[in-house]
Structure 1
Amino acid sequence: MDEAREAVESFEAPVEPESLDLVQDRLETFWAHDESVSAADRIRFEMALVEIVGNIVEHAFELDADARGRLLTVALTMGPDRIEAVLSDNGLPAAIDLGAVTMPDEDATSGRGLALAVAAVDEVGYERVEGRNHWRLMCHRNAD
């Protein structure tokens, strides 16, 4: 990939458990844009992305939030110094304070996904805009 260029890929998917496989498949294709991305950066970015998508699938539509269907938009960007994902869904607002996210006790049966995502990448952001949830994940690229 040229140093001045960014690789960008966007796609939309229904919000359902099978979408996790789609996101992982598309991410695998996305890595082909720049094979110099370190294995460590790939692993931590993918873990965070899959955990956030998993939370969207599990929690954003506990009730049918939108009669048009459950939709997730994923935009991936890769530059020479960072990898970024912007996720948008039409589900219910997430009642979350990212600054207060911690790993639950070892006896807890849930609640690790968001904590893992926050720990894995350099930035995790969330905001609700115009009836949609927007998540942003950013990972600074490091050499192996």
Structure 2
Amino acid sequence: MGDGVSRVSLTGTAELTFVDQVLDALERLCRAADGISEEDRTFFSLAVSEIATNIVTHSGCEGDAEVTVIADLTVDDAALSARFQDDAAPVAVALEEAELPDELAESGRGLAIAKMALDQLSHEVNNGHIWTLVRKRR
């Protein structure tokens, strides 16, 4: 692609250390790009963190089977985007039903927070899961 597009791709195991690696790579990508607002960087990083953590938490590892995750992060003049693909056992996800739980709930906020922070959040099942996250630059 042309100027103004920066990308990074990471492959790892569905573990919390991989979430940290993705967030570190995203931070480097945002620092290297021109003119990303603090709001865009913060909200997109939050959404990436929530989805990546959900992948790790709900990957459904059976026995010693490892789940592999590929994270593709892109920053261009129009948007910040991420695509996560994993090879976990397929599970249906009802994104349209994701909403913030009661304030005393201990979990269940991740998808709702990501939806609020993004312009597009999609999930599909295809030999695992594919998550697409897009935040248009303000």
**Alignment TM-score, normalising by the size of structure 1:** 0.88
5 Å matches for 1:40-51? 40-51=39-50
1:6/1:77 contact within 8 Å kept: yes
Listed as ranges, the gaps of 5+ residues in structure 1 are none
Runs of 4 or more, structure 1, over 6 Å off, are: none
**Residue matched to 2:117:** 120
Q: Distance in 2 between matches of 1:43 and 1:91?
A: 28
**Alignment TM-score, normalising by the size of structure 2:** 0.91
Quote how far apart the aligned CAs of 1:127 are.
Answer: 0.2
**Residue matched to 2:33:** 34
Q: Say yes or no: does 1:15 pair with 2:14.
A: yes
62 and 70 in structure 1: CA distance in 2 versus 1, 3 angstrom threshold: closer
Q: Say yes or no: does 1:100 pair with 2:97.
A: yes
2:75/2:81 contact within 8 Å kept: yes
Quote how far apart the aligned CAs of 1:4 are.
Answer: 4.4
Quote how far apart the aligned CAs of 1:121 are.
Answer: 0.8
Q: Distance in 2 between matches of 1:100 and 1:78?
A: 29
Listed as ranges, the gaps of 5+ residues in structure 2 are none
Report how many aligned residue pairs link the two structures. Answer: 137
Quote how far apart the aligned CAs of 1:62 are.
Answer: 4.5
Q: Distance in 2 between matches of 1:111 and 1:87?
A: 20
Q: Distance in 1 between matches of 2:81 and 2:43?
A: 12
